[in-house]
């Protein structure tokens, strides 16, 4: 059984600062945008921005359950979190189920 990759749209600019192409696994074909208006924001379009796959600094969630799971994912034990291990287990399952059903759009068998 193969898993679908997580959707990552890509925008490529092959032609100029006035044209761009959007590639996505959710689209049937790439879309080309032309006559893109200039911006008043000063920037170098050819400069490479620093990029990391993990957030820098502390990350906080408004949802207490997500915050609990985030802290657990970053190395805290259930004792350090101050919760019973079964509560942590139920919270992880709840968030994972929600993510798998809603974010990944996996159909039920």
Tell which wins on pLDDT, 83 or 11.
83
Tell me, rounded to whole angstroms, the distance of Cα 66 from its chain centroid.
Answer: 15
pLDDT tens per residue, range 18-55: 788 887 777 788 888 888 887 787 777 677 767 677 76
Helix (H, G, I), strand (E, B) or coil at 21: strand
Q: Which two tokens stand for residue 34?
A: 């032309």
pLDDT tens-digit map of 51-91: 677 767 778 889 999 999 999 998 999 999 999 999 999 99
Q: Is 20 exposed, middle or buried (0-12, 13-18, 19+ CB in 10 A)?
A: middle
Instruction: Please tell me the predicted confidence (pLDDT) of residue 11.
Output: 65
**Helix or strand (DSSP H, E) at 12:** strand 10-12
């Amino acid at each position: 059984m193969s898993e679908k990759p997580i959707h990552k749209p890509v925008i490529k600019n092959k032609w100029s600062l006035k044209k761009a192409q959007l590639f996505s696994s959710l689209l049937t074909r790439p879309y080309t945008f032309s006559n893109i208006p200039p911006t008043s924001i000063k920037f170098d379009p050819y400069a490479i921005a620093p990029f990391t796959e993990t957030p820098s600094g502390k990350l906080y969630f408004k949802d207490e359950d997500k915050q609990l799971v985030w802290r657990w994912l970053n190395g805290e034990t259930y004792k350090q979190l101050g919760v019973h291990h079964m509560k942590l287990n139920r919270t992880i399952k709840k968030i994972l189920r929600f993510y798998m059903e809603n974010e990944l759009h996996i159909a039920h068998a």
